[in-house]
Structure 1
Amino acid sequence: MSSPSAQTPASTVLYSERLLPSFWIWVMVLGVSASSILVFVPISMETGIIAAVVVAVILTVLLLLSTPTIRVTPDTLQVGKAEIERVHIGSVEGFRGDDATYQRGRGLNATSYMCIRGWISPVVKIEITDPADRTPYWLTSTRHPEDLVRALNS
């Protein structure tokens, strides 16, 4: 029997990542917000500036609320709103570059669970071995595929 200090608590987070939008997405938010000034400038410059601020706040809140999280604990894997026990995880592979593009495109199984963000190129493919689940694998974007693969294989 192992000592309690040698056991990993189920609540311990082995890996965590928020798939936040990249820099160029935030530049686009600023551009869209700034362009809203042009719509309201015929009314008044103050109205245009207020509209730009409101648009920027709304877009920022929407982007942040829709940002998924990847979280690995000793017992579970959570990707976005989906969660699975780790006993149902088979092989795990990380992909970058052309291999990641292939996994997101021609190599994609339409019945897989996907949490893909266009501004994050690398992906990790996580095989699902649960016989009650018809999903063959999960495919998720991640900025650190090697770290996620290492956490899931530990």
Structure 2
Amino acid sequence: MSDTRATTQTVRYRERLRLPLWFWLPGLGLAALIATEVNMGVEGMPEWLPFAVLLPAAAAVLMWAGRAEIRVVADETTGDAKPAVELWAGQAHLPVSVIARSAEVPRSAKSAALGRQLDPAAFVLHKAWVGPMVLIVLDDPDDPTPYWLVSCRHPDRVLAALRS
């Protein structure tokens, strides 16, 4: 017999960790510089061709670098009193039921958290252009991961969405 209960997903928090706009100027400038060098070094090629190839390629790389997304999603199944809440960090997801505690890691403590204090078994989604992080300590005997460190611009909003 199949389960015919309807499910709906409610997104409590969503944030894409895009590159800041000021990263784009040096990235596209470097692509233009390389295209100019190719133009100067290769005779017989149309002058527009290196620019037509390298500038879109640089834009694609910059967009790819900022593709990570943080989400807190509640799967609300009709008939259940409490929705199942999950944290998604990129492609990895974590049910809230295995979270023992969570806290904000400010920009000033980020280097210590990612340096000598970092457990090699921890899950880390770090983006250097995003200042703060959230620390999520797990309580799951079946998972060897002790905690998650996830970059986010608004850790207070992420933690509030996890706790609500």
Answer yes or no: same fold by TM over 0.5. yes
- Identity of counterpart residues, as a percentage? 29
The RMSD of aligned alpha carbons is 2.1
1:102/1:44 Cα in 2 relative to 1: closer, same or farther (>3 Å)?
same
Q: Hey, which of these two has a bigger chunk of strand by percent?
A: 2
Deviation at 1:34, TM superposition (A): 1.4
Taking structure 2 as the reference length, what is the TM-score of the superposition?
A: 0.79
Gaps of 5+ in 1: 1-8
Q: Whose Rg is larger?
A: 2
Which of 26, 30, 34 is the aligned partner of 1:28? 26
Distance (Å, rounded) in 2 between the aligned partners of 1:45 and 1:82: 49
SS where residue 160 of structure 2 aligns? helix
More displaced 10-residue stretch of structure 1: 39-48 or 117-126? 39-48
Gaps of 5+ in 2: 1-6, 75-84
Q: Hey, which of these two has a bigger chunk of helix by percent?
A: 1
SS where residue 135 of structure 1 aligns? coil
CA deviation map 1:47-66 (0-9, x unaligned): 45432342221232233234
Alignment length, in residue pairs? 146
Taking structure 1 as the reference length, what is the TM-score of the superposition?
A: 0.83
- Which residue does 1:146 correspond to in 2? 156
- Which residue does 2:96 correspond to in 1? 86
Distance (Å, rounded) in 2 between the aligned partners of 1:108 and 1:48: 49
- Which residue does 1:11 correspond to in 2? 9
- Which residue does 1:69 correspond to in 2? 69
- Which residue does 2:50 correspond to in 1? 51
What amino acid is aligned across from residue 50 of structure 2 in structure 1?
A: A
Distance (Å, rounded) in 1 between the aligned partners of 2:47 and 2:142: 55
Distance (Å, rounded) in 2 between the aligned partners of 1:45 and 1:27: 29
CA deviation map 1:93-114 (0-9, x unaligned): 1122322222122321111001
Deviation at 1:145, TM superposition (A): 1.2
